[in-house]
Chains A and B, each alone.
Chain A
Amino acid sequence: MTTITTETPQVAPVMQPGVTFMSLSTRIGDTVLRPQAPLWWWVGFGVSLLLLAVLVVSCTYLFVNGIGVWGVDIPVAWGLAIAEYVWWIALASGGTIVSALFYLTGSPWRSAISRIAESMMLSAVASAGIMPILHLGRPGFFYWLFPYPNVMGVWPQFRSPLLWDFVCIICYILMSVMFYYTGLVPDLATMRDRAPTRVKQIVYGILALGWQGSARQWRNYKITYLIMAAIMAPMVVSVHSVVGLDFAGGVTPGWHSTQFPPYFFFGAILSGLALVIMLTIPLRHAYSLQMVITGYHLNALGKVMLTGSLMLGFAYFWEVFGPYYGSDVAERTMLGGRLTGTYASVYWATVALNITAPQLLWWPAIRRSEWALFLISSGVIIGMWCERFVIVVTSLSRDHVPSEWGSYVPTIWDWGVLVGSIGLFLVIFFVILRLVPIVPLAELRELIAERAPP
């Protein structure tokens, strides 16, 4: 993957000439230190808060009345909440893929967008984390999943894939926060040193932990960051694979397949990259980041997204070929229902948005056009949501015995949680935008120094 993404297009260098250490600090660092947020930030934050209010109302109504307010019932007992859990965790994984995996490959385009990707990951993982809890019949008891000594004398069942998933998510959140913070320390020191007011100096001073940037500290920092990236990369593969195992562990037709772990990870590459693109394009205009996030970055992101789409297409093919070629009647019946039944339109939308539309990225002109990239990425985000819906709902609605067949129609409260979770994601992301430089300054200084030694 390194070779296809490091080749430099003549039209777009990895960084525009004329960027200096000082212009980097003033242009990017000071957007955070400015006392007044720009208008677009207030508009975006306001809309996000409205969406978050939808989540608060939906959750309150859900908690008071119970899970019956959703459309879920036996046999389709997993509905939008589980589909969206998978959807959000895939989006979150994309942030780690860009930031950790491409750190290991040494791709120069990774530097400028890694902070956007990691911030996206932290925001998305919050939306993912609430979904399984909302989905519980007794959400107040979610902590029973922790192995803590209790008077009931029971322990969680570690042989269940659902518990593996819980362990994965907890570990992933904790590791992501540590990885994020480690990458942030030198930039927090820059913030501390540029802070115009005493309060900001103290706050950033405490957060920077007293970082001095000594040769000893930089050496330790580089080693630590490399170790963390080398652990985070396989970790993120495991996280989404275990989500796949949640499904593969069941005998439900369409789920009981050994290809599920990699299949889910392919989806994470595609949708994660799509969300990184969707956030990067407006941000580079809003913050005037065209100097450091150039066509080079968009070109590379487009190529990785195309790769993800091809990998996912491979998984889609086997998902259809397996039941067709196998002899399991239930699998074949479910497949027939999936391709032609009630939810067939959602299935074909999945294929069109995730596999067909991204093929446009073969053309360099498409990868250079921000509008095209943005539209294809939005299509992928919607398509990946459809994919999760298809996997969860069509399988459960066509179980082995016809007497177990059923259907699922989301209610307004299902949709409320979807809309609200987008609000939660955006609120956290907008807050991060006001707190930390959205481009890693220290890493870009390395890039500047490589190009023109100071």
Chain B
Amino acid sequence: MNEARLHGIAGEFEHLDGALGAARQLRDSGFTRVEAYSPYPVEELAEAVGRSGAPIIAISTVAFLGALIGLTGGYFVQYWTAAVDLPVNVGGRPLHSWPAFTVSTFEIGVLCGVAAALLAFLVSSRLPLLYHPIFATDGFERASQDRFFLIVEAADVRFYPERIRAIFERHGAAHVSEVRG
């Protein structure tokens, strides 16, 4: 295991304050490849590691486009089947009776909107993922329960392990470890 490539240095924090302090100091010291892991969403933490801006793919835009495609496609299927391919005269009512098509159009539209949102969420969060080096961190199973983790990736240009370790420890990290995987 120790032969594996160094992924970064991880600090485990019992308290949110410690993790927040360390993350802010890392940011102020110019580190850029920092990621934070928490058992529940913490906005301040996302800000501290520079993840608070708009995501690369705006999920809401994708959801909207998905809904738009669903609306158009849903309407087209109804129009084409009822008015073009199989025109059935029901008591002289217009073949292209758009008010009757609105309900299904809405339902198919919102279905596609939700599906697009889910897809955008998965893609922008890099999921599904079978393996990630962070899982090799000691005690990382508690990141989904009650601990906060910060990691500075080895890809960071300022990656000086001793300095990072010192910052983590100054802010009361319970455990600092090298992550290899």
Interface residues of A (CB under 8 A from B): 20-22, 25, 147, 153-159, 161, 163-164, 167-168, 171-172, 174-175, 178-179, 181-182, 185-186, 189-190, 192-194, 209-224, 227-228, 231-232, 234-235, 238, 242, 245, 442-443, 445-446, 449, 453-454
Contacts and interface: CB of A to CB of B under 8 A. Distances in A.
A390 B82 CA distance: 35
A153 B84 CA distance: 12
B117 A147 contact: no
A163 B114 contact: no
B177 interface: no
B167 interface: no
A168 B37 contact: no
Given A155-B82, A175-B111, A227-B59, A210 B132 contact: yes
Nearest to B63: A227
B81 A218 contact: no
A158 B41 contact: no
Main SS at interface, chain A: helix
B114 A210 contact: no
B114 A245 contact: no
Contact of A174 (B36, B67, B81, B111): B111
Identify the interface centre among B38, B101, B135: most chain A CB within 10 Å of its CB: B38
A212 B37 contact: yes
A209 B127 CA distance: 6
B40 A442 contact: yes
Contact of B125 (A179, A190, A221): A221
B146 interface: yes
A238 B115 CA distance: 18
Given A147-B81, A213-B37, A238-B106, A22 B145 contact: yes
A185 to B, nearest CB: 8
Contacts of B40: 186, 218, 442-443, 445-446, 449
B145 A194 contact: yes
Contacts of A22: 145-146
29 contacts: A21-B39, A147-B77, A155-B86, A158-B78, A159-B101, A171-B107, A175-B114, A190-B39, A192-B144, A193-B144, A193-B145, A194-B145, A209-B128, A209-B129, A210-B127, A210-B128, A211-B144, A212-B134, A216-B124, A218-B38, A218-B41, A220-B59, A221-B125, A223-B121, A227-B63, A228-B118, A442-B39, A445-B40, A454-B14
